[in-house]
Copies of this chain bind each other. A is one copy, B any other.
Amino acid sequence: MKECIKVGLLGAGTVGSGVLTVLEENTAEIEKKVGVPIHVSKILVRDMKKAKELSEKYQLTDKIEDIVEDPEIDIVVELIGREHPAKEYIAAALEHKKNVVTANKDVLAKYGKELFPLAEENKVDFMFEASVGGGIPIIRPLKSCLAANKVTSVMGIVNGTTNYMLTKMSQENMDYADVLREAQEKGYAESDPTADVGGLDAARKLVILASIAFNTRIDLSDVLVEGIDGLDLCDIEHGKELGYAIKLLAIAKNNAEHGISVCVRPTMLPVSHPLAGVNDVFNAIFVTGDAIGDAMFMGRGAGKMPTASAVCGDIIDVARNIIHKSNGRINCTCFDEKHLCSLENMMSPCYIRLHVQDKPGVLAAIAAAFGAQNVSLKNVVQKSKVKGVAELVVITYDVSELNLQMAVQTLKALPIVEKVCSVIRVEDHDLE
């Protein structure tokens, strides 16, 4: 039996220092759970001079070879972030038969298809619980606890920045620009917030979730992405009146007949839906499977300590595998062919807000334009009337993505339509 498990840590930034804190503070419990102690034997830093304080307790290096070529190191923990050189470092570690733990969603979403086979060839573990939902246990539950299910849908609030912004907009009637400024001041949004507000961050996490949930390799290019940039406060208000909350949802569905659809977009959810009550920077993932029905996992989706919690959980799991010589115990499960759902078969209701001329026959013309694309209307409400222009809010029954796009084109071309202001999908889902 090994006397101790040795970890090489790549990056000692926010999450890296959180990992060091967790391993230091809970040393005794972790040793009891694993059977032997876990030691961080080397840390890769960018600038040795800047990391002086760290060097009093840990051995530092600025060369990746010092870690991946060290025969004593059992687990390489990658917490550098971004695509490069993180991807190359992970690949080098796997090639040197090191078990790897990472929190890097960017690398997983783009290079997962290269890295998972590499881990398998080298019979090592490659774990990434922290890459989606920060501290929330979701990867392991999907891979183990729900492994007997056919998962039919995964819907997640997986970006804390945008959930904080939407919560503020909804609760304090702040508009988009103001709330973005406040989020940046509080450090919840980056100075360039594009990846968050544009939906790319959520899309990367969705790629990881959907690949596991549906046992196939989903690519970033498969995801229809729409962000919250440009979301109008009045749609949040109208939504409230109709009993909906707007959340930026990452949605993956697997329809037995029509295949897989993956999208990130602002979505109206009934206020009674468990995801509708998930506010501020909290994340949550709502999973539906053929046996379990509905289940939800909620917690902090980011931050130093919650993310460190997930990383250290992975380290402990790898360590248990090392002790029991069972590394590679849970392989990549992307064994199925990918069948993507066509736009014709992606169905859901929709909320549409538009400005039309306020004159007789307008409603009939609008209804006819929807009808021509087979879109049935559930609800039409006139919200206001200013200088001959009326604001209409329309809720449709289930409509395919294709028909919806065509209906919107038709509406835009109508002389009586001044503007199609917003098109927001609705997820009506009775709890199963």
Contacts and interface: CB of A to CB of B under 8 A. Distances in A.
A325 B329 CA distance: 10
A370 interface: no
Interface stretch (A21-29, A114-122, A219-227): A21-29
Contact of A295 (B135, B140, B320, B329): B135
Interface residues of A, number: 62
Contact of A145 (B137, B149, B300): B137
B297 A295 contact: yes
A136 B295 contact: yes
A126 interface: no
A103 interface: no
Given A33-B147, A313-B144, A25 B290 contact: yes
Contacts of A333: 32-33
A323 to B, nearest CB: 8
A27 to B, nearest CB: 10
A331 B320 CA distance: 10
Interface stretch (A80-88, A187-195, A304-312, A377-385): A304-312
B321 A326 contact: yes
Given A141-B141, A148-B22, A148-B23, A297 B297 contact: yes
* Chain A contact surface mostly: mixed
Given A277-B274, A320-B330, A335-B32, A295 B145 contact: no
A140 B144 CA distance: 9
Nearest to A149: B309
A175 interface: no
A129 B145 contact: yes
Contact of A299 (B277, B292, B324): B292
Nearest to A311: B148
A255 to B, nearest CB: 16
Interface in A271-316: 274, 277-278, 280, 282, 289-300, 303, 305-306, 308-310, 312-313, 315-316
Interface string A319-349: 0110011101110010100000000000000
By CB atoms of chain B within 10 A, which of A135, A147, A320 has the most? A147
Contact of A293 (B30, B140, B144, B299): B299
Given A291-B135, A299-B294, A145 B313 contact: yes
A326 to B, nearest CB: 4
A148 B297 contact: no
A291 B274 contact: no
A291 B274 CA distance: 24
B317 A289 contact: no
A16 interface: no
Nearest to A327: B324
Nearest to A323: B329
Given A26-B148, A293-B300, 17 more contacts: A29-B215, A30-B147, A33-B333, A137-B141, A145-B310, A146-B313, A148-B308, A149-B309, A274-B277, A289-B309, A292-B300, A296-B298, A298-B298, A320-B329, A320-B330, A324-B326, A324-B329
State the 4 A-B residue pairs at the shortest beta-carbon distance, nearest first.
Answer: A148-B312, A295-B299, A137-B145, A326-B326
17 contacts: A30-B147, A30-B148, A33-B147, A137-B137, A137-B144, A137-B146, A144-B317, A146-B313, A291-B306, A292-B306, A292-B309, A293-B305, A293-B306, A295-B300, A296-B297, A296-B298, A324-B325
